């Protein structure tokens, strides 16, 4: 890292000054409690763990947000079980929330009202629980994006990626089960919709709903069953898988961003004790503190305002929590003609596709991506250095396109809100989103890919011609030009360290033998080559030392107007030629 620490400008030239702290405790002794434990468990042998090094980067904190939110959920959730009654038994409310006094409702809803109004600080715990759950999934989503766009899922971490995708699916299911528990009008509507989703499943749908609901909707079983799933079944799997997930991070050692001194065979950063204990431990309290701040000031899920569940009622503007938006949005976009009768049975793809099939489908695609990419690249090496997203343009573009599809579906969930707020026709919005779902990913893909390639070109330009110094020089003839300063080797390394992957069609040899006869490849291999072309046909090679030397050689050209631009054009063209490419990528 070459950034100068805050406030250190005065000392930047004293970098030679000794910074190491002298060992003032030359003969340290183990504290007696540790000695006690060591005699019984040999714990001293494991203390090397405290020296373990972790690399530093803000984007590594995203996963930590998820981890800490999970812990907050576990703590606050345990508290909530002391008061929450997971029963659909009918009671007449007699608590201190006046507007609902005397209203018939389920015990689940009544006890949620009690937590909110009659237990001191209960509302705070409820709000903490709900906000932490939302933050948990936000953290997961951002963490998944970080891991995806930096290629951290590559060998040897593919299986940990799979564990992570399962975790993220479980987190959403856990969240859905959780917000369904209070049995208020909004969450009851959600359960009603879930009942409809299950019914739509071919062959087993009706049976599934009767088994899950213990009979006809709504029955009296669904809240107790969701409860045990929410507080025991899913958390047990979540925590178990999470433990494996985090253990593997220790086992593999954390990936790091490329930079001077960072290689594929080392890890550069700070030790667990004391730096990461303080930083990561402190970050837990920061996440917890911010969650408390939000919970204090912003109300989430005011169940008392919705009233108890009644299957004959619904409020306009019913939306699930945000992580289910894409599924609900898909249901709003799927047209009715996807339902049809065939062989005497009802096939409701208008529902089934957007609910029961969509979730497993999205997470399956996510889970298998590393294996697909590995198959396409044929790259079986271990990767511990992260990619800068621009250096993997197609992967980055594919990810961005997928996110845009996800966002279209998510936005479809608020089509009614948009229609009201912006005075638009809900029908037009829905139709537009249907079209966008197919068109937007294509546009996003192309734009992001071009953007990545352009950023790579900009990197090349910076390496070859330096950075703008802000100093204007005047030649004896009266011409002006700006002096460019060459990068130092540390800054330059960031921009030249990567390798540009080549398509298989180049590396696997020509398609014809020396007599011009086609070398047959199987359909699978042919598909693989096409995909490899798709991924790596357009690419920008990093600057090589000889290119830099050549740029220096005619560096005087910079003094001439347009010289800089011309030099870039040349160098990029040369890069393309070296690779022997037909690239549609020329400026």
Partner 1 sequence: MSDDQIAVHEPHAKPTTYVEPGPADRFENPGLPPHRPRRADVDDAAAKRAERQVTTLFGLSILGTLGFIVAYFLVDPNLRASILVIGHVNLYHVILGLTMAISLLGIGLGAVHWAKTLMPDTEIVEERHLQASDQEARDEAAGILSQGYRSAQLHRRPMLLLTAGGALGLFALPMALQVAGGLGPLPGDTLNHTVWRKGMKLLIDPSGTPLTPEMVTQGSVIHVLPEGFAGESSHGEDGPSALEIMEVKATASVLLVRLNPELIQSQKQRDWSVDGIVAYSKICTHVGCPVALYERQTHHLLCPCHQSTFDMTNDCEVIFGPAKRPLPQLPITVEDGYLVAADGFAEPVGPSFWERGE
Report the alpha-carbon distance of residue 267 to residue 270 in Å, rounded. Answer: 9
284 binds partner 1 (CB under 8 A): yes
268 binds partner 1 (CB under 8 A): yes
State the burial class of residue 179 (Cβ atoms within 10 Å of its Cβ: 0-12, 13-18, 19+): buried
Q: Are 558 and 484 in contact (CB under 8 A)?
A: yes
CB 328, min distance to partner 1, A:
7
Nearer to partner 1 by C-beta: 454 or 497?
497
80 binds partner 1 (CB under 8 A): no
Nearer to partner 1 by C-beta: 235 or 259?
259
In sequence order, what are the beta bridge partners of 53?
271
Cα separations (Å) of 65 from 282, 286, 294, 375, 569? Answer: 12, 10, 15, 32, 44
Near partner 1 by CB under 8 A: residue from 46, 240, 311, 360: 311
192 binds partner 1 (CB under 8 A): yes
Long-range contacts of 251-254 (CB under 8 A, 24+ apart): 252/156, 252/157, 252/160, 252/384, 253/52, 253/53, 253/384, 254/54, 254/55, 254/60
Please report, as residue ranges, which positions from 449 to 478 form the binding site for partner 1 (by CB under 8 A). Answer: none
Nearer to partner 1 by C-beta: 26 or 203?
203
Q: Are 272 and 49 in contact (CB under 8 A)?
A: yes
Nearer to partner 1 by C-beta: 40 or 51?
51
Tokens 């906000």 -> residue: 131
Reduced to 3 states (helix: H, G, I; strand: E, B; else coil), residue 92 is: strand
Tokens, residue 305: 């305002």
Report the alpha-carbon distance of residue 472 to residue 566 in Å, rounded. Answer: 20
What is the number of alpha carbons within 13 Å of residue 341 lying toward its C-beta?
2
316 binds partner 1 (CB under 8 A): yes
The span of 19-27, 29-37, 391-399, 554-562 binding partner 1 (CB under 8 A) equals 19-27
378 binds partner 1 (CB under 8 A): no
Please report, as residue ranges, which positions from 238 to 267 form the binding site for partner 1 (by CB under 8 A). Answer: 252-253, 260-267
**What DSSP letter does each residue of 157-183 carry, written as one string?**
-HHHHHHHHHHHHHHHHHHHHHHHTT-
Report the alpha-carbon distance of residue 587 to residue 572 in Å, rounded. Answer: 10
417 binds partner 1 (CB under 8 A): no
Nearer to partner 1 by C-beta: 76 or 404?
76
The span of 158-166, 473-481, 524-532, 538-546 binding partner 1 (CB under 8 A) equals 538-546
Binding mask 43-72 for partner 1 (x = CB under 8 A): ---------xx-------------------
CB 193, min distance to partner 1, A:
5
Near partner 1 by CB under 8 A: residue from 26, 203, 472, 517: 203
The span of 198-206, 453-461, 506-514, 551-559 binding partner 1 (CB under 8 A) equals 198-206
Nearer to partner 1 by C-beta: 79 or 210?
210
297 binds partner 1 (CB under 8 A): yes
CB 186, min distance to partner 1, A:
11
341 binds partner 1 (CB under 8 A): yes
The span of 77-85, 136-144, 283-291, 441-449 binding partner 1 (CB under 8 A) equals 283-291
111 binds partner 1 (CB under 8 A): no
Report the alpha-carbon distance of residue 41 to residue 26 in Å, rounded. Answer: 26
19 binds partner 1 (CB under 8 A): yes
Tokens, residue 112: 């949620």
């Amino acid at each position: 890292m070459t950034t100068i620490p805050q406030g250190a400008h005065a000392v930047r030239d004293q970098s030679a000054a000794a910074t190491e702290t002298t060992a003032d405790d030359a003969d340290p002794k183990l504290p007696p409690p540790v000695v006690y434990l060591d005699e019984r468990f040999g714990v001293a042998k494991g203390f090397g763990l405290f020296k373990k090094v972790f690399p530093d980067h803000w984007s590594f904190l995203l996963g930590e947000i998820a981890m800490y939110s999970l812990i907050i959920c576990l703590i606050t959730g345990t508290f909530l079980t002391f008061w929450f009654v997971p029963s659909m038994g009918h009671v007449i409310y007699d608590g201190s929330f006046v507007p609902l006094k005397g209203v018939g409702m389920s015990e689940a809803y009544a006890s949620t009202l009690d937590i909110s109004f009659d237990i001191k600080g209960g509302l705070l715990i409820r709000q903490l629980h709900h906000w932490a759950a939302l933050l948990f999934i936000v953290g997961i989503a951002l963490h998944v994006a970080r891991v995806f766009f930096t290629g951290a899922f590559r060998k040897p971490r593919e299986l940990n990626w799979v564990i992570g995708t399962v975790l993220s699916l479980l987190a959403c299911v856990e969240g859905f089960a959780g917000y369904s528990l209070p049995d208020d009008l909004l969450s009851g509507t959600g359960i009603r919709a879930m009942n409809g989703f299950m019914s739509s499943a071919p062959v087993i749908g009706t049976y599934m709903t009767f088994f899950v609901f213990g009979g006809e909707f709504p029955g009296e079983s669904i809240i107790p069953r969701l409860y045990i799933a929410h507080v025991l079944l899913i958390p047990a799997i979540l925590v178990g898988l999470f433990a494996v997930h985090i253990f593997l991070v220790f086992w593999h050692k954390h990936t790091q961003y490329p930079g001077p001194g960072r290689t594929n065979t080392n890890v550069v950063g700070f030790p667990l004790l004391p730096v990461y204990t303080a930083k990561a431990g402190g970050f837990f309290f920061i996440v917890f503190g911010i969650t408390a701040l939000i919970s204090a000031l912003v109300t989430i899920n005011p169940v008392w305002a919705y009233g108890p569940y009644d299957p004959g009622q619904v409020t306009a503007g019913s939306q699930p929590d945000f992580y289910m938006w894409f599924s609900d949005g898909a249901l709003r976009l799927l047209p009715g003609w996807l339902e049809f009768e065939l062989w005497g049975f009802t096939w409701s793809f208008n529902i089934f596709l957007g609910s029961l099939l969509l979730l497993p489908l999205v997470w399956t695609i996510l889970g298998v991506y590393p294996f697909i990419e590995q198959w396409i690249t044929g790259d079986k090496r271990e990767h511990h250095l992260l990619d800068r997203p621009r250096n993997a343009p197609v992967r980055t573009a594919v990810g961005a396109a997928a996110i845009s599809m996800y966002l279209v579906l998510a936005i479809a969930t608020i089509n009614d809100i948009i229609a009201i707020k912006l005075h638009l026709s809900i029908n037009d919005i829905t139709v537009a989103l249907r079209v966008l779902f197919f068109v937007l990913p294509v546009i996003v893909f192309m734009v992001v890919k071009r953007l990545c390639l352009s950023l790579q070109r900009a990197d090349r330009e910076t390496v070859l011609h330096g950075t703008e110094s802000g100093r204007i020089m005047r030649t004896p003839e009266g011409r002006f030009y700006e002096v460019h300063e060459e990068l130092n080797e540390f800054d330059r390394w960031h921009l030249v360290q990567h390798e540009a992957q080549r398509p298989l069609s180049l590396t696997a040899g020509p398609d014809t033998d020396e007599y011009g006869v086609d070398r047959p490849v199987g359909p699978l291999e042919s598909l693989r080559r096409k995909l490899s072309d798709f991924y790596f046909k357009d690419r920008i090679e990093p600057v090589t030392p000889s290119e830099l030397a050549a740029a220096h050689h005619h560096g005087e050209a910079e003094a001439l107007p347009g010289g800089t631009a011309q030099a870039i054009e040349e160098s990029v063209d040369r890069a393309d030629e070296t690779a022997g490419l037909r690239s549609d990528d020329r400026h």
